Amino acid sequence: EDQVTQSPEALRLQEGESSSLNCSYTVSGLRGLFWYRQDPGKGPEFLFTLYSAGEEKEKERLKATLTKKESFLHITAPKPEDSATYLCAVQGSYGQNFVFGPGTRLSVLP
Amino acid sequence: GAVVSQHPSWVICKSGTSVKIECRSLDFQATTMFWYRQFPKQSLMLMATSNEGSKATYEQGVEKDKFLINHASLTLSTLTVTSAHPEDSSFYICSVSGTVVQKLFFGSGTQLSVL
């Protein structure tokens, strides 16, 4: 069974204080690992897709990396507007379903 | 990315009534749509997968007679919560996935409150 865990559950940072969020996964044949951002009361917003170990992608202050067992979302010099819940999901090769992790609630204080 | 429109954004209804939620893919042929449910501070729980022109596949523990899903076209899927009860109160989100682009695009969600 495909599984996704995320840590920490919640993270408080001061503005400018860089950190990383972790996503650990087990999947039967990884088709893709996805990162999403979700603001309260809204649907998730797509950030990145990673397909194979060693792959990295960047967007503004965010950088996502992937190994065979986990992915990291690095946030550099965060701003208050980066506050949100960050969700990680995987899609295995043997099904079309996406399995989501519980998310990390990030708060960036000014 | 694909634009997914979900309506209504919020709905309040009395216990025993039915509520319909619409999910439209505005610029994307959505062969597959997913319906999720999310409780406060929890992650997305897949309820069902619908493929255009065929019956939806429900996840274990989801009552198909209570949560009716119709995916009649490549741009529209509806979720009807029949005879809603307070325990059905939740945030419902739809998403679409195409055949070429496998990533999910989400609607804005519907907050359902059953009194």
B26-74 pLDDT, tens per residue?
887 877 889 999 998 888 999 999 888 888 999 999 999 999 998 878 8
Does the beta-carbon distance from B97 to A87 stay under 8 Å?
A: no
Compute the distance between CA of residue A33 and CA of residue B93 in angstroms, rounded to an integer. 20
A19 burial class (0-12, 13-18, 19+ CB within 10 angstroms)?
middle
CB B97, CB B104: distance < 8 Å: yes
Compute the distance between CA of residue B27 and CA of residue A36 in angstroms, rounded to an integer. 21
Does the beta-carbon distance from A98 to B108 stay under 8 Å?
A: no
Chain A: closest CA distance from residue B52 (Å): 14
User: Phi then psi for B89, rounded to 5 degrees?
Assistant: -60, 125
Question: Which DSSP state fits B88?
Answer: G
Which has the higher per-residue pLDDT, B27 or B115?
B115
Which has the higher per-residue pLDDT, B92 or B105?
B92
> What's the mean pLDDT when you consider all of chain B?
90
Q: Extract the tokens encoding B83.
A: 């005879």
Q: Which domains does chain A have, with CATH numbers?
A: 3-95 (2.60.40.10)
pLDDT tens for A7-33 read: 999 999 999 999 999 999 998 888 899
Query: Which residues 6+ apart lie within 8 Å of B48 measured at CB?
Result: B34, B35, B56, B57, B58, B59, B62, B64, B67, B69
Select from A3, A35, A98, A104 the residue whose CB has the most chain B CBs within 10 Å, as the one to mutate to test that interface.
A98
Question: Chain A partners of B107 at a C-beta cutoff of 8 Å?
Answer: 43
**Among A6, A30, A11, CA closest to A93:** A30
Asked whether residue B101 carries a pLDDT value surpassing 60, the answer given is no
B16 burial class (0-12, 13-18, 19+ CB within 10 angstroms)?
exposed
Question: Chain B partners of A88 at a C-beta cutoff of 8 Å?
Answer: none
Find the range with the poorest average confidence among A39-48, A69-78, B2-11, B94-103. B94-103
Q: Extract the tokens encoding B13.
A: 């209804």
CB A66, CB A4: distance < 8 Å: no
Question: Chain A partners of B34 at a C-beta cutoff of 8 Å?
Answer: 97-98
